[in-house]
């Protein structure tokens, strides 16, 4: 195995181990007990996925203004990695929702609808981009999608899901723990994006 690949897996494994350790040692919450660990992981994956998709849009916009291979590669890598973390946050939300509210999926929750809309829309963008195989279209699609993700996140209503349950928590300890968890999760998303950016095939047409 090449050294770069070994270093990549070592760093990703370190991020995963650090995240697991933080979740393991963090205290239970007074109301929902140990389920808070799933809620925090859900929140960290959500934030990392959203930032990845928005960053992919920024990289796509940079490519449109300054067409360099690296900008498009990063846009593609961030888009794929961000989407995977976004889907991951939805998967983690299933047991968290079940244990706190009862159903596996809170269909009446606008943020759940937004999550699924973003996941499905990105798949369509990805498939169309691969089919057209055009660099400027891919960059434009990522740029527009990044704007759409940011707008949807800002506009999504809330029924039972707190707008920012962690940031609004009165516990300084829990807020610090969340930041500590978010750092390795974001680092893992970025590392995977970097690896994908180096491996992804660029569009044929420019």
Query: With 90 as the cut, is the pLDDT of residue 92 above it?
Result: yes
* Between 31 and 70, the higher pLDDT residue: 70
* Between 55 and 33, the higher pLDDT residue: 55
Residues 6+ apart with CB under 8 A from 142: 56, 57, 59, 60, 75, 76, 79, 125
Mean model confidence pLDDT for the chain:
88
Per-residue model confidence as pLDDT tens digits over 109-145:
778 888 999 999 999 999 999 999 999 999 999 999 9
In this prediction, what percent of the chain has a pLDDT beyond 90?
64
To 10 degrees, the CA torsion angle through 46, 183, 145, 162?
30
State the average pLDDT over residues 48-61: 98
State the average pLDDT over residues 68-79: 96
Query: With 60 as the cut, is the pLDDT of residue 163 above it?
Result: no
Query: With 50 as the cut, is the pLDDT of residue 76 above it?
Result: yes
- Please report the pLDDT score of residue 190 as a whole number: 98
Q: Which of the four pLDDT bands, split at 50, 70 and 90, describes residue 175?
A: confident
Q: What is the pTM of this model?
A: 0.89
Q: Which of the four pLDDT bands, split at 50, 70 and 90, describes residue 171?
A: low
Whole-angstrom Cα distance, residue 120 to residue 73?
A: 22
Would you list the DSSP string of 162-189?
Answer: -SSTTTT-S-HHHHHHHHHHHHHHHHHH
């Amino acid at each position: 195995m090449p050294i770069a690949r070994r270093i990549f897996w070592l760093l990703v494994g370190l991020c995963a181990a650090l995240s697991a350790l933080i979740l393991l040692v963090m205290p239970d919450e007074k109301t929902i007990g140990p389920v808070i660990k799933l809620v925090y992981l859900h929140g960290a994956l959500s934030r990392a996925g959203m930032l990845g998709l928005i960053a992919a849009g920024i990289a796509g916009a940079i490519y449109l203004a300054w067409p360099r291979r690296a900008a498009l590669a990063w846009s593609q890598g961030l888009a794929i990695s961000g989407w995977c973390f976004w889907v991951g946050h939805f998967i983690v939300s299933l047991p968290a929702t079940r244990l706190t509210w009862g159903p596996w999926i809170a269909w009446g929750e606008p943020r759940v609808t937004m999550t699924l809309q973003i996941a499905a829309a990105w798949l369509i963008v990805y498939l169309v981009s691969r089919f057209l195989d055009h660099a400027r279209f891919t960059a434009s699609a990522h740029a527009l999608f990044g704007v759409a993700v940011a707008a949807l996140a800002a506009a999504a209503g809330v029924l039972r899901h707190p707008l920012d349950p962690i940031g609004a928590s009165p516990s300084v300890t829990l807020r610090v723990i969340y930041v500590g968890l978010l750092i390795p999760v974001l680092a893992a998303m970025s590392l995977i994006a970097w690896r994908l950016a180096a491996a992804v095939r660029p569009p044929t047409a420019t």
